[in-house]
Amino acid sequence: MERVVFSGSWKHILAENGLKKFKDFYRCNRKKCIDKNNRRNVSIILLNTGGEEKTLYMKRFRHSHLKDILFTFLNRGKICSQAYYEWSNLKLLNKNNIGTPERVCFGEQTRLGIERKSFLITEELNGQCLTDFISQNWDKLASSEKEKIIVSLAKTIRKIHKAGISLPDLYIWHIFINKDKNTGEYSFAFIDLNRMKRGIKDKNEKIKNLGRLNHSMTDKYFDKSMRRLLLESYAAKENGTKIEKLIRQVKRYSKKYSARRRVKPY
């Protein structure tokens, strides 16, 4: 069985570009792959809409494993494709006023209710990937501006956790930053949400999120004071003892995780 679900007026826009059925999307020859592994890949698709070029991002899932099926079932309460699960994660984050890419459509190919292949398409985000922003701007920013960014990011992560959401892939390169031209305030959006967890109450999940973020914050740009500011701002309403405990826990997990994984250069 195959189906494609669209958001807003995208069904007509995509149809005008010859994209209607599942196979049209999955086999689209106008895409440029920018990231891939043996189970998923991400591509850019350029479309013409009303005489203007539009950039979309497509994530294709394949070779679904039993653990993927079990994961989505435990978090969603029913068996669903990975594309549908991430589609619903985008909707949930948006409902909680947390920045995400705008949804375009998703498609799935199933057999007896089990996913064989699926894809998710989203719009290009406003703003800039945080790794690019940091590598291009960090050394030129005043300390007060750097602190403003760190504090704003910490508050956003706390908001995510208060909503009972865990982001196991909370790395610098999965965060986009945008600065409001009128207020000067920073906002953030998050990508790569297929491993997002819901209804989280376990504090260890939050520690792991923060630990992986800490792991991705390279020493080239983030010194100890910046890392500490992030965690102090995240736990702003806690007393001093609890904050110190949080810092130790995050450092411990980050060190353990860094022993297994390298930081992407940026």
Query: How confident is the model over 116-148, as pLDDT tens digits?
Result: 999 999 999 989 999 999 999 999 999 999 999
Residue 230 DSSP code: H
pLDDT of residue 28: 82
Top-confidence residue, 85 or 39: 85
pLDDT of residue 215: 96
pLDDT of residue 192: 94
Instruction: Sketch out the chain's domains with CATH numbers.
Output: 12-123 (3.30.200), 128-258 (1.10.510.10)
Tell me the C-alpha distance between 89 and 109, whole Å.
19
What percent of the chain clears pLDDT 90, i.e. is strictly above it?
71
pLDDT of residue 91: 97
Mean pLDDT of 183-203: 94
State how far the alpha carbon of 78 is from the alpha carbons of 48, 84, 113, in Å.
Answer: 37, 11, 11
Top-confidence residue, 265 or 10: 10
pLDDT of residue 247: 94
Confidence category of residue 234, pLDDT binned at 50, 70, 90 = very high
Confidence category of residue 57, pLDDT binned at 50, 70, 90 = very high
How distant is the alpha carbon of residue 148 from its chain centre?
Answer: 22
Top-confidence residue, 182 or 236: 182
Q: Which of 65-69, 102-106, 225-229 has the lowest mean pLDDT?
A: 65-69
pTM score of the predicted model = 0.93
Strand 175-179: give its sheet, edge to edge: 128-129, 175-179, 186-190
Top-confidence residue, 236 or 213: 213
Instruction: Write the CB contacts of 83 (distance below 8 Å, at least 6 apart in sequence).
Output: 59, 61, 106, 107, 108, 118, 119, 120
Highest averaged pLDDT of the listed ranges 42-46, 48-52, 196-200: 196-200
pLDDT of residue 62: 85
With b for 16 or more beta-carbon neighbours within 10 A and e for fewer, the 24-40 pattern comes to: ebbebeebeeeeeeeeb
Top-confidence residue, 263 or 246: 246
Backbone angles phi, psi at 199, to 5 degrees: 60, 35
**Statement: residue 229 has pLDDT above 80:** yes
Q: Which two tokens stand for residue 259?
A: 């022993």
Render pLDDT for 159-171 as a digit per residue (tens, 0 to 9). Answer: 999 999 999 999 9
pLDDT of residue 241: 82
pLDDT of residue 69: 79
